[in-house]
Amino acid sequence: MRLWESFDKNEISLLIIFAAAYFAYFILNKRVNKQVRILGLLWGITIGILFDFTIGGGLLDFYRINDSNHYELFDILYYLDFGPFGFFFFYFYETLHINKKTFIFYAVAWAIIGVAAQWLFTWCDIIKLQRGYHLSYSFPVFLVVQTATGSFFAQVKKREHVLVKN
């Protein structure tokens, strides 16, 4: 595995995003059931990996991550960056008391955040869109992802206490 091809804007940006996201995660996670917070992290990382290796690689190969199409050390950091956002989705769903009426707004808001994050990643040269893929195509992808995340979390909520007293 390569570490990186050239240590520049994308690697530095990834380090900053990683530090900021996990800092926020460790601040917020104290109130959340340990199993649920682990699941939130895993959910985020899995969704990132699943979509990047499905539409971002293989036959479709719609975007390139970091400096090459091959696995680099910073690709792992990129996937780990998704983890806290899975947790944040769970956390704010619970603390904002999202219900059947407000879920549509919540899912759309997260889909917009997803597209904005992807624009930021493109601007930071972390991902490079290719083969005619346009940023707007990510909106339906994020809509599906956020809806699936909300449905999954609703199932978790039914069975587990999400917020706990310290």
Binding site for another protein (CB under 8 A): 1, 31, 33-36, 38-39, 42-43, 45-46, 49-50, 53-54, 57-59, 70-71, 152, 155-156, 159-165
Rounded-to-integer distance, Cα 47 and Cα 43, Å: 6
What are the residues facing 32 on neighbouring strands? 163
Nearest distance from C-beta of residue 157 to another protein, angstroms? 10
Which one, 136 or 165, has the nearer CB to another protein?
A: 165
Rounded-to-integer distance, Cα 27 and Cα 115, Å: 25
Q: Which residue has the tokens 């994050």?
A: 117
Which one, 3 or 59, has the nearer CB to another protein?
A: 59
Nearest distance from C-beta of residue 116 to another protein, angstroms? 25
Q: Which residue has the tokens 């380090």?
A: 15
Q: Which amino acid is at 158?
A: K
Q: Which amino acid is at 41?
A: L
Nearest distance from C-beta of residue 31 to another protein, angstroms? 7
Rounded-to-integer distance, Cα 22 and Cα 76, Å: 15
Which one, 55 or 135, has the nearer CB to another protein?
A: 55
**φ and ψ of 2, to 5 deg:** -75, 150
Nearest distance from C-beta of residue 119 to another protein, angstroms? 25
- C-beta of residue 47 within 8 angstroms of C-beta of residue 86: yes
Which one, 131 or 159, has the nearer CB to another protein?
A: 159
Count how many Cα atoms sit within 13 Å of the Cα of residue 99 in the half-sphere of its side chain: 2
Which one, 124 or 154, has the nearer CB to another protein?
A: 154
Nearest distance from C-beta of residue 82 to another protein, angstroms? 11
